[in-house]
Structure 1
């Protein structure tokens, strides 16, 4: 995870290239390095703080939908996925989204193309671009691809023109951590706005480069987070005593008023819930394995790995290794308390967001987005 020889993703990510291009997830070499460095400010805490109202309002819709279900059994993942789509559309693009109430052709296309991409990743026959064109999913895939790209490029162009015509428009670019003057408390920059004001090697990003990164945010930012939240809710349901402690902490920090807006300050004070989320991510990592390609022949742990070899890192297996996590199948949030030795844990034993240079750039974004979903525990708990 730290070696330059393994800094390139495995070729199973190739099925995403036509959709995502070479954004952060799939790029390598100098393009990955320069874009990663330039885009890091887009996830600065000052920007994430501005997203809190979106997290709050969208999670309220989710909680109300659960309440309207009247206590009947419900398939939670589709509902949570719409919530995460709702959040990512508004925070990434600065465009109003109503994915939870009336899905647009864009959000439907994102859902459909993601499902098709996962199907291809695990089907070696239709992983091939040549063979895939004969599958019944090929036409829906192409339709979704056009819908997504047309929508993203349209939003980018509109936002670019808005910024250019804005009275506050300047020659400023975002190339380092933004200061208070650029991102004050009243500022509500979308990730797209940061990309539009970013310079790399002395030039602004092209519409196509921005499109690649925005589409990457959309893919990486909604499905994995929805999976993490779903397993978190499952874990709480399976352990009512832990759910009760989470509920009590939420009410002690935020209060009994069901309409109190949730901000980042509140979220940062939910210490026990943070432990619960970490334990849920340990047992159910939303990305259970990742792959890398050896860029050259490497001697690894006494084995000679030939160049261009794909290697799989089994995050799920690592998180269930009893050497690092005693009683690995037991749901025990307290194992992440510092006094229990969490600070001494090998930093590469627990990697729900990967680690090293290619760790998830949006991990704080994902964690903050997960926390407000616990409103269903506070606002409408029965």
Structure 2
């Protein structure tokens, strides 16, 4: 499902797709028969950043529910034990309190964030632990998060190394449905073999 959203955003941001391809070529080379190994996957920093930025713009889960185990004061209100809270992730992901230019699609906000000495994304460095919840957080963080990222990076590498994918109609909005999860309902693309 997230793959559809990635394809959609790469279709709208050709410079991001070009930079992704550049990284794939640098890390994996032109030999399309060469298998992808774990060391290769670990070097796909920009690919990782693209996945995260797409998720920030189109979270698969818009909210998460939590119940407090004891009475607490939050936001100036006293909440009794057993109160249900619904945390709206989609709002946090686009909040100016946590993200620099949140409406802008820019994978560089996630690119080597710990090493990045570029001060354009100081908010992200300070708040990323609590404001980017692609796999949840705390003791309930997804135990399969590393495997999921490996699978997504492998899938993108396998597809974008071999094929050129374009949106059939760049002006057509993405057709999706939101409920408990957001799912892509239709994405029409043109696929052709990539030329080196």
TM-score, with structure 2 as normaliser: 0.73
Within 5 Å, which residues of 2 pair with 1:108-123? Answer: none
Within 5 Å, which residues of 2 pair with 1:45-64? Answer: none
Q: Which ranges in structure 2 are unaligned for 5 or more consecutive residues?
A: 165-193
Where does residue 105 of structure 2 map in the other structure? 331
Where does residue 186 of structure 2 map in the other structure? none
Residues matched between the structures, number: 156
1:268 counterpart = 2:42: yes
Where does residue 356 of structure 1 map in the other structure? 138
Where does residue 150 of structure 2 map in the other structure? 368
Do 1:246 and 1:272's aligned partners in 2 also have CA atoms closer than 8 Å? yes
Cα distance per residue 1:158-212 (max 9 Å; x no partner) = xxxxxxxxxxxxxxxxxxxxxxxxxxxxxxxxxxxxxxxxxxxxxxxxxxxxxxx
Cα distance, 1:359–1:250 mapped onto 2, change above 3 Å: same
Q: Which ranges in structure 1 are unaligned for 5 or more consecutive residues?
A: 1-226
* Structure-1 separation of matches of 2:109 and 2:80: 39
Cα drift, residue 267 of structure 1:
0.7
1:312 counterpart = 2:116: no
* Structure-2 separation of matches of 1:233 and 1:365: 20
Where does residue 230 of structure 1 map in the other structure? 4
SS at match of 1:347: helix
* Structure-2 separation of matches of 1:291 and 1:230: 26
Q: What is the root-mean-square deviation in Å for CA atoms of aligned residues?
A: 1.6
Within 5 Å, which residues of 2 pair with 1:1-382? Answer: 227-336=1-110, 337=113, 338-340=116-118, 341=122, 342-374=124-156, 375-381=158-164, 382=194
Cα drift, residue 332 of structure 1:
0.5
* Structure-2 separation of matches of 1:372 and 1:345: 28
TM-score, with structure 1 as normaliser: 0.39
SS at match of 2:66: strand
Higher CA-based Rg: 1
Cα drift, residue 320 of structure 1:
0.2
Do 1:290 and 1:312's aligned partners in 2 also have CA atoms closer than 8 Å? yes
Do 1:253 and 1:266's aligned partners in 2 also have CA atoms closer than 8 Å? yes
Where does residue 93 of structure 1 map in the other structure? none
Cα drift, residue 229 of structure 1:
2.1
Cα drift, residue 351 of structure 1:
1.5
SS at match of 1:321: coil
SS at match of 1:326: coil
